[in-house]
Structure 1
């Protein structure tokens, strides 16, 4: 009989939730076959069988939380498919007989000898027989008890005191760990309780941590997208024909962000202890909404990609996110993030930092507004509000404002972006 354990997943992932069993008890599996899908904080991963044989026992069901190293199933290398049931039935009488033998002494209490010396690790503790019996009843480790007897002898009252202290500590820990939102448990009107997915719990915890750990501020500006839209209209057909991908807004914004980061490198940094880590590469995270929550896959070396390369990578990552096929390598190591609430109709928002990054750019919907031109004429222009949330521990307000101004300049004259790209 071989055990199937949760393997090492990644340095930052130590636990997960069983999302779906891909095989059932009695199925034949080969070494390397995926047998269960595990939902982790970041992505869903498949756990493969380490041994070939018949799956004879499943120890954790769908929805159970498991940690790295936990045994989740057992495989019989000698069994044939469908034989696990007979094997289980054959073992049942032995198991029942064993239980009878274990319980048999409890049917004759007169045979108990509380004063007999225990054979466990508590041998060296000086305790009265009554104290030892009470400790067994309350499941208290004699080694953890501080006796009041000057000679160090543990008495029953010491055991009772230790048990009371243990219970008080347990209640205190439970109270501390319980979220405030769960304190109110009764409602006068109908409600539905749905368990949060592991990913949603992680998103919630990290957003709170980001607000607690960073001195987060947000600054705003607006961009006239007349030239971007004109350029897209002129080039979109040839672009699609040549590159087999549509020319969207994200490539313009990604290029503008990279250009601005080069001018303001502190927004491409992070804090590690008492050091600033200034990154000389540009891995830009693009926030993508999925049914399970927001994920941020990373466009690697965005400064080295042209418009077509960025659009293809964003399209590929978006599809993988929606199909739940993102790998850990797709999500790790971003230096700056862009999020586009405009696709949902958002006019203005304050995005939350994606720690340990110190900057995130928020895009919003495009609205036509009457704008006063430099010559005092009034024109209707496609305008977008943009927001930069930043960590004030590293980035000063002046740099944050100028960063947004630089993005505005690049987007309002996108031909410079094309030349740089």
Structure 2
């Protein structure tokens, strides 16, 4: 029977390659269908790669630590009958125990019980890191696992001097002497930051960005949330932040103007109109990188569902628990720059989407209100909204009225809305 090729599956629109963290099996082992054959890492998440068939592993075409393109063949499996697996599996477990003992003996100088991939171990040994160093490295992988980038970042984040500069620079990261001082520090971008950099640069090169602004009066919006957040949490066991309320207003505006919920095909001659409204929420990770997990089919969710969706993806992002499905398929993104105390921002479009909303900090300001007795000055709550959009497919009129519609939904939030 013909050997089956196992390829790296697609793990998101912007993911073009992965780093092979480790194989969970050896050549010659038998493996069940859907059993994990390898662990890989991307700029977004760590992920398990399952076998597509039951059989015997014939060949691995890459080594741990290698970069592999999406869709590339990395293993060959010879299909076999299920009854052969049980006996072989028991034998493999015993072999694995022996292998683990042997491996642990090769890194006795590292006093840690944490799993370290062969690539990570080789870097640690090459750099002569001690157990005190390892204990200071915070793992960003699944279950706190230390990755190659975690080790490299730890090494690069140490202070450099002119005396040891030549020992730490490579041909690929030479720094001009005219721009480097004796007390300066060289920090190599981790893989996620490098890919974020490329993604942002590509977005600016792809889409002619235009940004529009509005400043809605969100007094009723703020008042309703303040009056109902405790009852909401008591009823639904979910915290009620401003984010699901904003998402609700955005979804309603997209329903009014569906041509915002589109993307452009690779030929730049066709517009793809999406039926689902999948809202991405820009979220900071523990390592200060940014990721955009997605609330799928937000157009079918009520406020309870939106709050649950927001809380779930934000919690998973902050604890490095996101899966590839959590970060794919977005059609519109929201970035809350108000979290950092910023009034407004000019966000970069998250390709292949065509628009992104930034929400600023909510601030109390004096405002002029018209009454039957004349104008009065009162304190009201305001916030800036800024919409960056792709001028290839969204003209100023559409971008402007869409942003104003979001503003209107926020300004006219019904204070009698029931939870």
Determine if the alignment matches structure 1 residue 69 to structure 2 residue 73: yes
Shift in alpha-carbon separation, 1:193–1:34, aligned structure 2, 3 A: farther
Is the contact made by 1:36 and 1:46 (CA closer than 8 Å) also made in structure 2?
Answer: yes
Write out per-residue CA displacement over residues 88-142 of structure 1, whole angstroms, 9 at most, x where no aligned residue.
Answer: 9xxxxxxxxxxxxxxxxxxxxxxxxxxxxxxxxxxxxxxxxxxxxxxxxxxxxxx
Is the contact made by 2:281 and 2:333 (CA closer than 8 Å) also made in structure 1?
Answer: yes
**Which residue pairs with 1:8 in the alignment?**
8
Give, in angstroms, the shift of residue 237 of structure 1: 2.1
Superposed, which structure 2 residues align to 1:257-336 within 5 Å?
257-272=250-265, 273-292=268-287, 293-336=289-332
**Which residue pairs with 2:176 in the alignment?**
185
Write out per-residue CA displacement over residues 264-316 of structure 1, whole angstroms, 9 at most, x where no aligned residue.
Answer: 22211122231222223211111111134211111122121111100001111
Q: Distance in 1 between matches of 2:416 and 2:396?
A: 26
Query: Which has the larger Rg?
Result: 1
Q: Distance in 2 between matches of 1:231 and 1:329?
A: 33
**Which stretches in structure 2 are left out of the alignment for 5+ residues?**
77-87, 104-171
Is the contact made by 2:215 and 2:383 (CA closer than 8 Å) also made in structure 1?
Answer: yes
Give, in angstroms, the shift of residue 196 of structure 1: 2.5
Is the contact made by 1:342 and 1:366 (CA closer than 8 Å) also made in structure 2?
Answer: yes
Is the contact made by 1:39 and 1:198 (CA closer than 8 Å) also made in structure 2?
Answer: no
Q: Distance in 2 between matches of 1:226 and 1:86?
A: 64
Q: Distance in 1 between matches of 2:205 and 2:62?
A: 39
**Which residue pairs with 1:409 in the alignment?**
408
Segment drifting more, 326-335 vs 310-319? 326-335
Is the contact made by 1:267 and 1:359 (CA closer than 8 Å) also made in structure 2?
Answer: yes
Write out per-residue CA displacement over residues 202-252 of structure 1, whole angstroms, 9 at most, x where no aligned residue.
Answer: 211111111111111101111222101211122222211111112221121
Equivalent residue for 2:192, pick from 199, 204, 214: 199
Determine if the alignment matches structure 1 residue 363 to structure 2 residue 359: yes
**Which residue pairs with 1:387 in the alignment?**
386
**Which stretches in structure 1 are left out of the alignment for 5+ residues?**
89-180
Q: Distance in 2 between matches of 1:85 and 1:350?
A: 51
Shift in alpha-carbon separation, 1:251–1:188, aligned structure 2, 3 A: closer
**Which residue pairs with 2:243 in the alignment?**
250
Q: Distance in 1 between matches of 2:316 and 2:338?
A: 21
Give, in angstroms, the shift of residue 359 of structure 1: 0.9
The SS at the match of 1:394 is coil
Q: Distance in 1 between matches of 2:46 and 2:333?
A: 22
Q: Distance in 2 between matches of 1:283 and 1:374?
A: 39
Give, in angstroms, the shift of residue 83 of structure 1: 5.3
Provide the aligned length of Structure 1 versus Structure 2: 320
The SS at the match of 2:384 is strand
Shift in alpha-carbon separation, 1:192–1:34, aligned structure 2, 3 A: farther
Write out per-residue CA displacement over residues 169-207 of structure 1, whole angstroms, 9 at most, x where no aligned residue.
Answer: xxxxxxxxxxxx957433232344344332222211111
Equivalent residue for 2:233, pick from 236, 240, 258: 240
Is the contact made by 1:16 and 1:198 (CA closer than 8 Å) also made in structure 2?
Answer: no
Q: Distance in 2 between matches of 1:51 and 1:410?
A: 54
The SS at the match of 2:326 is helix
The SS at the match of 2:226 is helix
Give, in angstroms, the shift of residue 23 of structure 1: 7.1
Equivalent residue for 2:335, pick from 324, 339, 357: 339
Segment drifting more, 309-318 vs 36-45? 36-45
Is the contact made by 2:338 and 2:359 (CA closer than 8 Å) also made in structure 1?
Answer: yes
**Which residue pairs with 1:115 in the alignment?**
none
Q: Distance in 1 between matches of 2:220 and 2:342?
A: 22
Is the contact made by 1:410 and 1:417 (CA closer than 8 Å) also made in structure 2?
Answer: no
Give, in angstroms, the shift of residue 41 of structure 1: 3.4
Equivalent residue for 1:216, pick from 209, 220, 235: 209
Is the contact made by 2:238 and 2:308 (CA closer than 8 Å) also made in structure 1?
Answer: yes
Is the contact made by 1:256 and 1:417 (CA closer than 8 Å) also made in structure 2?
Answer: no
CA RMSD of aligned residues (A): 3.9
Shift in alpha-carbon separation, 1:374–1:16, aligned structure 2, 3 A: same
Is the contact made by 1:37 and 1:46 (CA closer than 8 Å) also made in structure 2?
Answer: yes
Q: Distance in 2 between matches of 1:196 and 1:53?
A: 39
Give, in angstroms, the shift of residue 69 of structure 1: 3.0
Give, in angstroms, the shift of residue 399 of structure 1: 1.8
Shift in alpha-carbon separation, 1:85–1:231, aligned structure 2, 3 A: closer
Give, in angstroms, the shift of residue 42 of structure 1: 3.1
**Which residue pairs with 1:167 in the alignment?**
none
